[in-house]
Structure 1
Amino acid sequence: MLKGKPVGRLNDSLTSMGHGLIYEISKLVMRGLELYGYKWLYERRVVDLDWSSPITWWVAAIGVNFIWAAHQVHHSSEDYNITTAFRQSIFQRFFAIGFYHPLALLGVPLPAILVHIQFNLLFQFWIHTELVENCGPLEWIINTPSHHRVHHGVFIVWDRMFGTFQQEKKDEKIVYGLVEQPQSFNVIWLQFYYMVAVLRKAKSMTTWGDTLRALFYGPGWFPGTPRLGDPDTFPDVKASRTKYDRYLPLWEQVYVAVHFAVALIVQQVLTIHLMTFSWVTVLGYIIFIVVTTGIIGATYDGWWWAPLMEAIRCAAYVAYARTRPVTGYPQIDAALVAYFAVSTLVWASRSLTVLNVATKTAKLE
């Protein structure tokens, strides 16, 4: 059952979990709107479904998401492991509004929807792995790890019924990622780059009709091709492809892992105290988390401005945390202030080195 394959790379895994952090931040805003809207519609339902009725749970399990631009982030990892499940787009929260809401008018109670959402979320984790090869009889019913390496959804029975099923080929290595794979570990850039690409594609069209098609047809569409594009023009995804990777010294790998852990702690503190924090504090925590994930990605990508931005980020943390507790535990807060102070000095020194090198290079040119 277990194949014994490697579980993934630190840079790719932290990038995936960084997407999860940003996604959770977006939920702080969007989930309230979703639930309030669902409750409002449920109070005006046209059908009553009992909480204990099997029909309630069957109806609640129906869901569709057709906006590829809001989902492609999930496929941007070139590794396939449990952290890939965290790789979600913040735009998916916006486009998902309304997909569950018609069920409110059909009388599906809000608790049933919440339970379904949580079970669906938990289900996503175990199928993102290369370690599990076969699940026996379950392979005929649900989307197992083997199936999910090829398919989407929860129940594989639908693909078997409608002729879209494709068995994982043991003699063919799967190439994970996107057809046009972004060369970056920067969470913020990965969240937005495809949206920008879609808008640029639409802007490049010469007619209003083609502009709309660029937005609403398949990602492979171009003028003169079918709605989903011409398969003959698609890149060869079976060809071997070198995974995007950059060397990072061990100390920097440890550094970014520690700071990512701090961002996780800050996110948990924010979630716990969301209703008691002022909006300014909430905004500050959100900015800290977003900037942290962005700079970690920039560090992995080797962007020249990363050292300077990291020095500024660490200095800002010290300035804030010296007067206000972050975790609520004095010893931990004191240790973090000291750690961020040292980090500020380290990255300020490195940023000066980078700027000096850039200045000398500019003079030579």
Structure 2
Amino acid sequence: MNLSPVVIAIPMYFILMAIEMITLRFQKHPGYRLNDAITNINCGVISQVTGVFIKVLSIGIYTLIYENLAFMQIPNNIWTFLLLFFLYDLCYYWAHRKSHEINLFWGGHVVHHSSEEYNLSVALRQSSTQTIWTFFFYFPLALLGFDPVMLVLASGINLLYQFWIHTEAIGKMGFLEKFMNTPSHHRVHHGRNPKYIDKNHGGTFIIFDKWFGTFQEEEETPTYGITTPVNSWNPFWVNLSHYATMKEELAMIPNWGDKIRYLFNKPGWLPEYLGGYRAPQEPGPDFNKFDTVVPPTFNWYVFFQYVMLLVLTGYFLFQVNNFDWTIKIGVSLAIIWTTVSFSGVFEKRSWFFPQEVLRLISFTGVLFLLFETLISVPLLLSVLGVYLLISFAWLIKNQQSKSKISTASL
């Protein structure tokens, strides 16, 4: 069983999001949009399943350094863990800060900032590539002699702490604001206003920002998101869009020296002969959040399928250590395919219907392979058969409704 604190806490994430929705409703705050919230969670789902493969690299290298190059072996006890937790957050600060200040690294972190809302679901909007650009920031902890198991635990708790600060339901928190990261401090971090950009990088503690000159108090309400909105509900594209832009801009730069500078300078940098640095601008009065509207029956269809996806993803992540690599790859692809398919509904893509038929058949097959040893085959086949019938009937009804709407609009 996967005992990662982040995976174990999955049920709590959804309970807290439900509480936040109720609280925001009483505060008469819109708070959530289904298309945005599902895209946020989809990014987290993809991050977790791809992390099954990427974390093997990062933790593996950390362990090699710890076993072969560490200056000492630090014993595991409560005091050394507290020291590790503090030092981990210091390393996190620099990894996070450089993810904002280096264009290539920003490609791995921009995913988390691309939502134009600010609620607990945004905490789950995690990148699938960020670990590639940040895992080496923690190598000093291996050299000092901190156990890899303790590092994983500190990392998980640090990430769990950051979940609850993604909310507008909590105002300023008095004395805690002086040294802890809080919802107020982190709202600043997610603002796209020029005064808020690249501020408040701390994970658990805000003291590092105060020490190193990147602290900004929350003043006016931030406008959330990024200066060049991704304008898509497709979590796969959300992960790749910045790299695609980088590819286009690199092609415009004629010499290799400037290409390297482009990769490692701040996001927005271009050589002077191409216009120079593009500073972020204050959102204008005509700014509108990206949104799309589909009939309620389409949203309910996505919600129904999403429950099935979460069942599969939760079981897969909890039992991932018991599967061989073929199963891991196959299930991961099925999960990613499903998250992309939902974006086809929200964005009204013409390819949605034919690929959704294939996805439902494939997805049902994956469910059968994973659960056939847990549930009697006749019962499992009956449940999956009902699931397929409901899905196909609902899908066909939605497609007919879409055709009627399209015809009526002509």
Asked whether the 8 Å contact 2:119–2:167 carries over to 1, the reply is: yes
**Residues of 2 paired with 1:185 and 1:173: CA distance?**
25
Residue 207 (structure 2) pairs with residue 157 (structure 1): yes
What letter is aligned with 1:104? A
Asked whether the 8 Å contact 2:334–2:362 carries over to 1, the reply is: no
Root-mean-square deviation (Å): 3.1
Counterpart position of 2:267: 219
Residue 338 (structure 2) pairs with residue 313 (structure 1): no
Counterpart position of 1:71: 109
Counterpart position of 1:103: 141
What letter is aligned with 2:116? E
Specify which of 220, 223, 233 is matched with residue 185 of structure 1. Answer: 233
**Residues of 1 paired with 2:170 and 2:404: CA distance?**
51
Q: 1:270-327 CA deviation, whole Å, 9 max, x = no partner?
A: 2244344343333221111001000101211111111111111112234555677469
State the TM-score, normalizing by the size of structure 1.
Answer: 0.86
**Residues of 2 paired with 1:124 and 1:212: CA distance?**
33
Q: 1:95-127 CA deviation, whole Å, 9 max, x = no partner?
A: 233222231111112233122101111111111
2:58 partner SS:
helix
Counterpart position of 1:303: 349
Residue 71 (structure 2) pairs with residue 46 (structure 1): yes
Specify which of 323, 330, 344 is matched with residue 277 of structure 1. Answer: 323
Counterpart position of 1:265: 311
**Residues of 1 paired with 2:404 and 2:324: CA distance?**
41
Asked whether the 8 Å contact 2:88–2:155 carries over to 1, the reply is: no
Moved more, 23-32 or 346-355: 346-355
What letter is aligned with 1:46? F
* Identity among equivalent pairs (%): 29
| Residues 1:224 and 1:278: Cα distance change in structure 2 (over 3 Å) | same
**Residues of 1 paired with 2:381 and 2:134: CA distance?**
38
| Residues 1:129 and 1:350: Cα distance change in structure 2 (over 3 Å) | closer
Asked whether the 8 Å contact 1:269–1:327 carries over to 2, the reply is: no
Specify which of 89, 107, 115 is matched with residue 61 of structure 1. Answer: 89
Residues 135-154 of structure 1: pairs in structure 2 closer than 5 A:
135-150=173-188, 151-154=200-203
Moved more, 298-307 or 54-63: 54-63
**Residues of 2 paired with 1:139 and 1:41: CA distance?**
36
| Residues 1:129 and 1:333: Cα distance change in structure 2 (over 3 Å) | farther
Task: Please state which structure has a larger fraction of its residues in helix.
Answer: 2
1:101 partner SS:
helix
Asked whether the 8 Å contact 1:202–1:212 carries over to 2, the reply is: no
Counterpart position of 1:208: 256
**Residues of 2 paired with 1:327 and 1:296: CA distance?**
29
Unpaired runs of 5+ in structure 2?
A: 1-22, 99-104, 189-199
**Residues of 2 paired with 1:31 and 1:314: CA distance?**
30
Counterpart position of 2:300: 254
| Residues 1:239 and 1:269: Cα distance change in structure 2 (over 3 Å) | same
**Residues of 2 paired with 1:162 and 1:29: CA distance?**
34
Residue 55 (structure 2) pairs with residue 31 (structure 1): yes
Give the C-alpha shift of residue 30 in structure 1.
1.9
2:277 partner SS:
coil
**Residues of 2 paired with 1:225 and 1:128: CA distance?**
40
Give the C-alpha shift of residue 132 in structure 1.
0.4
Asked whether the 8 Å contact 1:266–1:327 carries over to 2, the reply is: no
Q: 1:125-175 CA deviation, whole Å, 9 max, x = no partner?
A: 111000101111001111110110113313222333444332212xx3321
Higher RCO (CA 8 Å, separation ≥ 6 residues)? 2
Q: 1:164-217 CA deviation, whole Å, 9 max, x = no partner?
A: 332212xx3321111011111111111111111112211211111221122221
Specify which of 279, 282, 288 is matched with residue 236 of structure 1. Answer: 282
Moved more, 301-310 or 107-116: 107-116
What letter is aligned with 1:292? T
Give the C-alpha shift of residue 349 in structure 1.
7.3
Give the C-alpha shift of residue 348 in structure 1.
5.7
Specify which of 166, 172, 183 is matched with residue 216 of structure 2. Answer: 166
**Residues of 2 paired with 1:6 and 1:327: CA distance?**
44
Counterpart position of 2:6: none
Moved more, 268-277 or 296-305: 268-277
**Residues of 2 paired with 1:329 and 1:263: CA distance?**
18
Specify which of 216, 240, 243 is matched with residue 195 of structure 1. Answer: 243
Asked whether the 8 Å contact 2:84–2:151 carries over to 1, the reply is: no
Give the C-alpha shift of residue 48 in structure 1.
3.5
Give the C-alpha shift of residue 76 in structure 1.
0.5
2:253 partner SS:
coil
Unpaired runs of 5+ in structure 1?
A: 361-365
